[in-house]
């Protein structure tokens, strides 16, 4: 069973960038997708985007298009999320997760079945 | 984006109760609907996928139903550890996901 370990908390200035890493242990992510979700203080879960490592094709949520870059290394054991032009509203806990498929015949159901522990990012001047 | 709504936004219940949480999608998503449980300060955990399939290790008191646009999460015989927030999430298109706003469950 894969486990995901994220990098540590960050404090950033407005206008700067942050890069959060997500390392898989126990298995690679070669047969899965890797996604990123954030949660601002007291609020709900917000989908940011994801990547299918073997294809190296990222997909971004509209709200983050142009400001976020999601990558995964060639060995598909570590994923990265970079968010640029930070503002105070980006203060949140950022989660990575493995998106596995359960397939029956031609139908596959994608679900976020393993989560990282979360990385707190604080944006403050 | 496919818009997701949930009701109620919060619920106060007693141990042993049966609880139902509703989730509605802005368009037909067949049964591409997942449910998660998040305890305060922790990462969410998968409960149900494909609208009604129980994830490995999840207690059988959790159940999911629905298809199309309307879905329900049911928790039977509520336990104290079931407190927290429940989120639905649509997985209709690959990596183009959205979450519902959440339903906060408080134990009386």
The DSSP annotation for B44-88 comes to -EEEEETTTEEPTT--TTEEEEEETTEEEEEE-S--GGG-EEEEE
Question: Rounded to whole angstroms, how far apart are CA atoms A45 and B74?
Answer: 21
Q: Which of B38, B94, B100 is facing A110, going by the closest CB pair?
A: B94
If pLDDT is split at 50, 70 and 90, which confidence band does A39 have? very high
Residue B104 touches chain A, beta carbons under 8 Å? no
Question: Rounded to whole angstroms, how far apart are CA atoms B42 and B54?
Answer: 21
Yes or no, beta carbons of B49 and A102 under 8 Å apart: yes
Question: Rounded to whole angstroms, how far apart are CA atoms A53 and A98?
Answer: 11
Question: Rounded to whole angstroms, how far apart are CA atoms A30 and A74?
Answer: 9
- Encode burial over B58-80: b for 16+ CB neighbours within 10 A, e otherwise: beeebbbebeeeebbbebeebee
pLDDT tens column, B32-73: 999 999 999 999 999 999 999 999 999 999 999 999 999 999
Q: How many CB atoms lie within 10 A of CB B7?
A: 13
Q: What is the mean pLDDT of residues B74-94?
A: 96
Contacts of A59 in chain B (CB under 8 A): 94-96
Residue A104's pLDDT is what? Answer: 84
Yes or no, beta carbons of A45 and B89 under 8 Å apart: yes
Distance from CA of A6 to the nearest CA of B (A): 12
Q: Which of B46, B50, B98 is facing A112, going by the closest CB pair?
A: B46
Question: Rounded to whole angstroms, how far apart are CA atoms B46 and A13?
Answer: 34
- What mean pLDDT, rounded, does chain B reach? 97
Q: Say if residue A106's pLDDT is above 90.
A: no
Q: Which of A33, A51, A116 is facing B43, going by the closest CB pair?
A: A116
Q: Say if residue A76's pLDDT is above 90.
A: no
Percent of chain B topping pLDDT 70: 100
Please, where are the H alpha helices in chain A? none
Q: What is the mean pLDDT of residues A63-79?
A: 89
Q: What is the mean pLDDT of residues B9-38?
A: 97
Contacts of B1 in chain A (CB under 8 A): 61-62
């Amino acid at each position: 069973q894969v486990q995901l370990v994220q990098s540590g908390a960050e404090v950033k200035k407005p206008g700067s960038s942050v890069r959060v890493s997500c390392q898989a242990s126990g298995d690679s992510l070669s047969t899965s997708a890797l996604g990123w979700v954030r949660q601002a203080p007291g609020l709900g879960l917000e989908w940011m985007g994801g990547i299918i490592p073997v294809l190296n094709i990222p997909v971004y949520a509209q709200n983050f298009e142009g400001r976020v870059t999601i990558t995964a290394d060639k060995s598909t054991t570590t994923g990265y999320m970079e968010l640029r032009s930070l503002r105070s509203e980006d203060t949140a806990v950022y989660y990575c997760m493995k998106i596995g498929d359960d397939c029956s015949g031609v139908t596959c159901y994608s679900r976020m079945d393993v989560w990282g522990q979360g990385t707190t990012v604080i944006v403050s001047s | 984006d496919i818009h997701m709504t949930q009701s109620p936004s919060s619920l106060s219940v007693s141990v042993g109760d049966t609880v139902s949480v509703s989730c509605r999608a802005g368009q037909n998503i067949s049964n591409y609907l997942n449910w998660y449980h998040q305890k305060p300060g922790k990462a969410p955990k998968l409960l149900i996928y494909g609208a009604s399939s129980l994830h490995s290790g999840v207690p059988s008191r959790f159940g999911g139903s629905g298809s199309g646009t309307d879905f329900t999460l049911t928790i039977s015989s509520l336990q104290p550890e079931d407190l927290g927030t429940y989120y639905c999430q649509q997985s209709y298109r690959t990596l183009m996901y959205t979450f519902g706003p959440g339903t906060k469950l408080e134990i009386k």
